[in-house]
Amino acid sequence: MNQLSKVVCTAAACVVAAVTVNRAENSQKSARDLAWVRERVQELEPTAKERRLDEIGWAGSIREAERLAKQNNRPVFLFTHDGRINTGRC
């Protein structure tokens, strides 16, 4: 095989590879159907383990906590913080 043939063959191989990769990518994109989207939504949503905060019986306000504490002779646990601990945006 002379030099020119080698260059032509290499170029042809590159074109075939590029087309194959492109087809594979297009095929992957078109596979993003409704079932895939629904599955991905479920995968990304918080799990019960990540929502253990919800297992605590939080009072709705400091004054409500103080009222319940007084009525039931219990101490208040008050956590003050920046951001939204309930959504995690903090």
Partner 1 sequence: MRAGPLSNSTVISLLNRCFVPVYAVNEDYRDGGAQPPEEKAEYNRIYKEALAAKLSAGTVHVYILSPDGHAIDSLHVATAAKTERLIDLLERTIKKLKVRQGQALVAPAPQSAPPKCAPDSLVLHLTSRSLDGRGAWNDFPVEDWIVLSQDECAKLLPDGKSRAGDSWIVDEEISTRLLTRFYPPTENNDVSKNRFTHQTLKAEIISVLNHVTRARIEGNLKMQHSFYHREDGKVVEATVVGFMDFELPTRRIRSLQLVTDEATYGGGTFGVAVRSLE
Binding to partner 1 in span 50-89, by CB under 8 A: 50-66, 68-70, 72-89
Distance CA 12, CA 5 (A): 10
Distance CA 24, CA 54 (A): 43
Tell me which long-range contacts 63-70 makes (C-beta under 8 A, separation of at least 24): none
Does position 37 interact with partner 1 (CB under 8 A)? The reply is: yes
Judged by beta carbon, residue 4 or residue 56, the one nearer partner 1 is 56
Binding residues for partner 1, rule: CB under 8 A, are 29, 32, 34, 37-38, 40-41, 43-46, 49-66, 68-70, 72-90
